[in-house]
Amino acid sequence: MVILGVDPALTITGYGVIDARQNKFSLIEAGIVSTSSKDPLPVRMNKIYQAMIKLISDTKPDCLVLEKIYSHYRHPTTAYVLGHARGVICLACAGKKVPLVEYAATRIKKAIVGQGLASKSQVQRMVASILGLKSIPEYTDVTDALALAIAHSYISKATTYGMK
């Protein structure tokens, strides 16, 4: 199964594509889509949208995995801004007919590290270990996207076999 994980944001959107077969994972592609805060919002959204369309066309994933929106009540603007990026990613999925799956951050951390409140560095090290990477990716956005893809593989298998 080819899984595309995406960690959406307005400035840096991380992505990671893996091939997951029989508990063996191989990295197909990973990187970022960056936009400039100097550009108008529609230009930034179009850049993310076009990058996702190209990524989906190039890698032909079986599904795309996003993290559910969470923002602290003291920072409501975070959810608003994230919503823009998530919206164009969801639109790309719909246009390319790729199933979309969402998980809470705590569910991803539990699947990857075994603890829902794991630190970023714990997730980074585990993702690098699972994929056999020689070094941790430079951007945490990439590691988070890869964690989404790996976790989906684990969670979908557990659901298939009646476990949670």
Catalytic residue annotation:
7, 67, 141
* Phi, psi of 64, deg, nearest 5: -120, 135
CB 145 within 8 A of CB 14: yes
CA distance 20 to 26: 7
CA distance 157 to 3: 13
CB 108 within 8 A of CB 67: yes
CA distance 34 to 14: 9
CA distance 45 to 109: 28
CB 9 within 8 A of CB 119: no
